[in-house]
Amino acid sequence: MSSPASPAPRRAPGGEVVVIFGGRSEIGLAIARRLAGGRTVVLATRPGRDVSSLAAPLTAAGASAVEIIDFDADDLGSHARVVEDVESRIGEISVAVLAFGILGDQEVAEKDAAAAARILHTDFVAQAALLTVLAERMKPRKRGVLVAFSSVAGQRVRRANYVYGSAKAGLDGFASGMADALHGTGVTLVIPRPGFVIGRMTEGMDPAPFSSTPDQVADAVVDRVRARRAGVVWIPWQLRVMFVVARFVPQPIWRRMPR
């Protein structure tokens, strides 16, 4: 991990640098399009995937440059090297969005310890590790924005998806604590807490009440990023009310809440 004593990264000639970790994510790309104007956008994607079509929409949205780099979230030892490479070659990271994650297969994970561990590793451990690397880079500079995706699935872990939900519960707690720890440092940590998102990741699943789209999630996140407003943002906002009410209703009703 890079220490605060590391040489200061250079400023990017193409404006601020926005990095999407999980660069093929629908939500991540929607955020990138909204932040692209006058900035350099870096898409960090798993090696071996087809990324040939990713740059053009960002260039059309006004990005001054688009870079695509290899990134394996599950390789914790590579996180610091990837961040160092971006900052030494491209410029100081201004906004980092952690958009990677997996749903996994709940039925398999209940019976296969390795499958359960993979979900927890990607959706919690890898996220916490990368957030730590990025925060330690940003704190000495007293600036920067981090985005870490929680989920309503982690607010009360349910039978239907308790492996994924427990990973999100862990990440939610970690990110909330880190946001408190970053208060006053100049570094902002935004924690989107969306409900069911209709998209590629949930294809074939029945949408839950108060579902949203990647574009709706991106709009809410970008508003917070531009305002440099830390903390949790419920998407849509009605879910916050729904979860308060759910504390006082019978369990069968709760089970119909969003995933």
pLDDT digits (tens, 9 = 90+) for 124-161: 999 999 999 999 999 999 999 999 999 888 888 888 89
pLDDT category at 1 given cuts 50, 70, 90 is very low
Whole-number pLDDT of residue 3: 44
Looking at per-residue pLDDT, the higher value among 83 and 235 belongs to 83
- Mean pLDDT within 78-106: 97
Q: How confident is the model at residue 18 (pLDDT cuts 50, 70, 90)?
A: very high
CATH superfamily of 17-256: NAD(P)-binding Rossmann-like Domain (3.40.50.720)
- Percent of the chain beyond pLDDT 90? 70
List, for residues 223-250, the tens digit of each pLDDT value: 999 999 999 999 877 776 766 666 666 5
- Evaluate whether 112 touches 43 at the Cβ level (below 8 Å): no
- pTM for the full predicted model: 0.87
In the predicted model, what is the mean pLDDT of residues 248-253? 54
Over residues 25-67, the pLDDT tens digits come to 999 999 999 999 999 999 999 998 888 899 999 999 999 999 9
Q: Are 115 and 161 in contact (CB under 8 A)?
A: no
Structure tokens at 60: 């059309």
**Catalytic entry in 124, 149, 164, 196:** 164
The reply to whether 164 belongs to the active site is: yes
Phi, psi of 88 (to 5 degrees): -80, -35
